[in-house]
Amino acid sequence: MAPVASVKDNDIEAAAAMDNVDRAAKHLQDLAGIATGDVASHYLDEEKWAGADRPARVKLLQEWLKAEVLYEE
């Protein structure tokens, strides 16, 4: 399992460019070895994602990943 810290800025940028929030989250979950979407569901919202520009999406993803760190084993 790769830690959340292994996710690079370019990985987050690539995810932020995706139109589908679930696909973006899955992309980063796979990279970081995150097994469930429990934490993501509290930080990533489909409606908010659809209305956000890329910098706002990057911020949403960064906030989610910061929270994920708390649940790493």
The tokens of 17 are what? Answer: 């460019």
Burial 38-69 (b: 16+ CB within 10 A, else e): ebbeebbeeeebeebeeeebbebbeebbeebe
Return the pLDDT at 3.
86
Return the pLDDT at 71.
80
Give the domain extent around 58. 4-69
pTM of the model as a whole? 0.92
- Phi-psi category of residue 2: left, alpha or beta, with phi > 0 → left and psi -120 to 50 → alpha: beta
Return the pLDDT at 56.
98
In a structure prediction context, what are the per-residue pLDDT tens digits for the chain, which is 73 residues long?
568 989 999 999 999 999 999 999 999 999 999 988 899 999 999 999 999 999 999 999 999 999 999 887 6
| Tokens 């994920």, located at residue | 68
Q: How many domains does the chain have?
A: 1
